């Protein structure tokens, strides 16, 4: 699902430089990435999603060369093919729960606001136990409930790739476990691929593989997926 070669990224101003010689993530697998804060894990997810353009090297997601796309092309690909889940939720506070789930269709014509999409959003809220909260503003929800809304939004288009950046970082253990179960069920039931950054080592045994971020910045090729260490 993900193939990275000779990746290098530097900010225009600053000394930070991310280098990844080789990284492969198997399709339909759940892979966790661990590593110290500030090492570039979030930057890596943003590069895979096409939010930031790489300096040199290549990133391929499925059959698409992300590094070969224009800004508009990366944005369109991201909306259609990638579900993003953030630690800070990134919800719009003045919108209701349902409208936050439907946000991708409201901000871009790439995703049509159809009756089927609305039904998909409602079904997702039922699945995560928030069907009774659909008309409430997200400011009235708990932290765990807000993250479930954010996951519903990420799953709206049934994307083949999920990128989750410490989605349990602000949650209690019970809420963290529920979030991971929702994400992993998408992998099992919909043949999706999950790449998740986490500092919570108690969750790692549920993934197909775990990659140390320090390792993928080495000169040795690294693969993630079923059966990987």
Name the CA dihedral angle for 105, 108, 109, 115, rounded to a multiple of 10 degrees.
0
Give CA–CA dist 101/123, Å, rounded: 11
| Residue 229 counted as domain residue | no
Is pTM, for the whole model, over 0.85?
A: yes
pLDDT of 39 reads: 84
Mean pLDDT of 136-163: 93
Q: Can you give the residue range of the structural domain that contains 91? A: 2-224
pLDDT band at 216 (very low <50, low <70, confident <90, very high): confident
Q: Specify the number of domains making up the chain.
A: 1
| Residue 134 counted as domain residue | yes
Model pLDDT for residues 137-148, shown as the tens digit of each residue: 999 999 999 999
Long-range contacts formed by 172-179: CB under 8 A, 24+ apart: 172/144, 173/202, 174/144, 175/142, 175/143, 175/144, 175/147, 176/200, 176/203, 177/203, 178/144, 178/148, 179/144, 179/147, 179/148, 179/151
Which CATH number belongs to the domain containing residue 63 in this structure?
3.40.50.300
* Residue located via tokens 């969750």: 203
Give CA–CA dist 192/123, Å, rounded: 18
| Residue 39 counted as domain residue | yes
DSSP state, residue 197 = E
Task: Indicate the average pLDDT of the chain.
Answer: 89
pLDDT band at 214 (very low <50, low <70, confident <90, very high): confident
| Residue 142 counted as domain residue | yes
pLDDT band at 13 (very low <50, low <70, confident <90, very high): confident
Does the pLDDT value for residue 226 go beyond 90?
no
Does the pLDDT value for residue 169 go beyond 90?
no
């Amino acid at each position: 699902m993900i193939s990275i070669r000779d990746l290098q990224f530097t900010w225009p101003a600053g000394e930070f430089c991310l280098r990844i010689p080789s990284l492969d993530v198997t399709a339909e697998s759940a892979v966790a990435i661990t590593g110290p804060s500030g090492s570039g894990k979030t930057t890596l997810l943003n590069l895979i999603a096409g939010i930031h353009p790489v300096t040199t090297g290549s990133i391929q997601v499925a059959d698409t060369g992300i590094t070969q796309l224009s800004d508009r092309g990366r944005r369109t690909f991201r909306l259609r093919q990638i579900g993003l889940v953030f630690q800070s939720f990134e919800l719009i506070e003045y919108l209701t729960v349902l409208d936050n789930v439907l946000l991708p269709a409201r901000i871009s014509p790439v995703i049509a606001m159809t009756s089927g999409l609305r039904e998909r959003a409602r079904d997702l809220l039922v699945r995560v136990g928030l069907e009774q909260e659909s008309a409430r503003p997200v400011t009235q929800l708990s932290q765990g409930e807000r993250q479930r809304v954010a996951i519903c939004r990420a799953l709206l288009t049934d994307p083949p790739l999920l990128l989750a950046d410490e989605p349990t970082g602000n949650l209690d253990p019970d809420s963290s476990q529920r979030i991971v179960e929702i994400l992993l069920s998408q992998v099992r039931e919909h043949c999706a691929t999950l790449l998740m950054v986490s500092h919570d080592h108690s969750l790692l045994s549920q993934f197909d593989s775990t990659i140390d971020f320090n390792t993928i910045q080495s000169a040795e090729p690294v693969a993630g997926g079923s059966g990987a260490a």
